[in-house]
Amino acid sequence: MLVTAHALDSFLRAAGDPMAELRHIGPGHAEFEQAQILRIAVGVLAKNPAAFPAIQATIAAFDGMPLAAHTEAHVQAAQAWCSGDPVGAAEAYVSIADRWPHDLVALRLLPSCFFFLGWHERLCRIMDEHLAAWSGDQIGFAFVLAMTCFAHAEGGDSDYAESLGRQALIMDPSCPIGVHAVAHAIAASGRSDHGAKWMREQRAHWESDSRMRTHNAWHLAMFHVEQGNYASAMGILDGWLMPASAQSALDACDATALLWHLHEDGGDDEGRWLRLSDAFERAMTPGFWPFVDLHAAIAHAAAGQHARVQQLTRAVDRCAAGRDFAASRARSITQPGLQVLQAWAEGRYGQAREQWTALRATLSDCGGSHVQLELFDAIARGGDQRLRWAINGGRANTVVLTPVGLRRAA
């Protein structure tokens, strides 16, 4: 097997280290262009501005070289991504997949960009079109099935999604991406008992050397929360997500959602919120991704780090003053989202409800999955319950977000 073929398999399955496998491939090597495409892809898939310099350095290594049309197309897509044009990057990867239907790198980065943008419905159509171009005997077909499964789980057809994902796992039972796709479909169907049992049975396939292991663990923990198995969920939070959050803003987002659900009873968080607030301070770039910004605001506020909330708000305001895509999304999603959170925090529940109603219809535009965005619905339900108690002259018994942390509302 070619070195790049093995690295591609590692990249697609989220197992092993594709960058380490490519370390000996340099200019003049027969696989250099494909190796560079994979190196670029790893950076784009990270969805983190911290990866931009590495992507740009990889592209710069091509200077003066005549490139194949396919390689040039990948370079242009990555340049769009690094220049702050994720829409252009997404469209570029669609174009690559249309022109080269069996380009598995494009078929992986296309859903990644759409996930970042929140374009779930269109992703279903595109993946269905490309799935039709594959046959079961082709290498990579299981992966395309898994990606199409994820698309339909987000698109609202969880039964069809699960059938695709299980077909993928029949072909490649130990694929962590396939396990995640099925877990996502089960979560979308609301079958937490089945989901928890299934994830425990699949544990050997996602707990190994996989870049999806903490997110798959999060799915298991969320199934446990829905079952009322809080002790097990807390064990996953402390054993998996809290350590990973120190290095990854996306893992910190998952940990934030899980911790919120675990502490809706107002219990002592034992310093976890502060650790998550610290993690966001280290790992995120404010204004880059509304999905991360809003989770960071929740963690900062719940930790009592009001100065960090204000600092984040100012950074988002600066971003919103620009003219690029990030600025547009900051104005339409992040700024209104921060205002809703602030209104809840200050007890302005009627205003918060009105603002939330206006924002909810477009919240998916902040990126992330519907399962992950449920956190904001949960916070809204808490605020609405508090409002109903206030209108009725009663006393609320729910948790609300406050600038000084989580507490039981009086």
Q: What is the mean pLDDT of the chain?
A: 90
pLDDT value of residue 2: 86
At 177-234, the pLDDT tens digits run 999 999 999 998 889 899 899 999 998 888 878 889 999 999 999 999 999 999 999 9
pLDDT value of residue 166: 95
Rounded Cα gap, residues 106 and 244, in angstroms: 27
Residue that the structure tokens 């299980």 belong to: 166
125: pLDDT confidence band, cut at 50, 70 and 90? Answer: very high
Looking at the predicted structure, is the pLDDT value of residue 120 above 50?
yes
398 close to 385: Cβ distance less than 8 angstroms = yes
Q: Which residue has the higher pLDDT, 374 or 112?
A: 112
Q: Which residue has the higher pLDDT, 155 or 327?
A: 327
pLDDT value of residue 398: 39
Q: Where are the alpha helices (DSSP H) in 266-369?
A: 272-283, 290-302, 306-320, 325-329, 335-345, 349-360
Q: Cβ neighbours of residue 179 under 8 Å, at least 6 residues apart?
A: 169, 199, 202, 205, 206, 212, 216
At 300-330, the pLDDT tens digits run 999 999 999 999 999 999 999 999 999 999 9
pLDDT value of residue 149: 96
Looking at the predicted structure, is the pLDDT value of residue 95 above 90?
yes
At 376-399, the pLDDT tens digits run 888 888 766 655 555 555 443 434
pLDDT value of residue 380: 83
Looking at the predicted structure, is the pLDDT value of residue 243 above 50?
yes
> What letter represents residue 361's amino acid?
A
Query: What residues are paired with 15 via a beta bridge?
Result: 210
144: pLDDT confidence band, cut at 50, 70 and 90? Answer: very high
259 close to 273: Cβ distance less than 8 angstroms = yes
370 close to 364: Cβ distance less than 8 angstroms = yes
**Whole-structure pTM value:** 0.92
